[in-house]
A = this chain, B = another copy of it.
Amino acid sequence: MSFSPLVDRLLESLRVLPGVGPKSAQRMALHLLERDRPGGERLAAILAQALAEVGYCRRCRTLTEAELCELCRSSRRDERLLCIVESPADMLAIEEAGGYRGQYFVLHGHLSPLDGIGPEDIGLDQLESRLSEGEIDEIILATNPTVEGEATAHYIAAQLEDRDIRLSRLAYGVPMGGELEYVDGGTLSRAFNGRLPFSSV
Residues of A within 8 A of B (CB): 1-7, 9-10, 13-14, 16-19, 24, 26-34, 36-37, 39-51, 53-54, 57, 62-66, 69-72, 87-89, 92, 95-96, 108
B residues within 8 A CB of A33?
A: 50-51, 54, 63, 88
Q: Is the CB of B46 within 8 A of A10?
A: yes
Q: Is the CB of A48 within 8 A of B44?
A: yes
A interface: dominant SS: helix
Copies in the complex: 2
B residues within 8 A CB of A45?
A: 44, 48
Identify A63's interface contact among B30, B42, B62, CB under 8 A.
Answer: B30
Interface centre among A45, A51, A53 (most CB of B within 10 A): A51
- Minimum CB–CB distance for A100 against chain B, Å: 14
- Minimum CB–CB distance for A139 against chain B, Å: 20
B residues within 8 A CB of A50?
A: 6-7, 9-10, 29, 33
The complex places the Cα of A92 from the Cα of B42 at a distance, in Å, of 27
Q: Is the CB of B63 within 8 A of A39?
A: no
The complex places the Cα of A107 from the Cα of B51 at a distance, in Å, of 37
B residues within 8 A CB of A9?
A: 46, 50
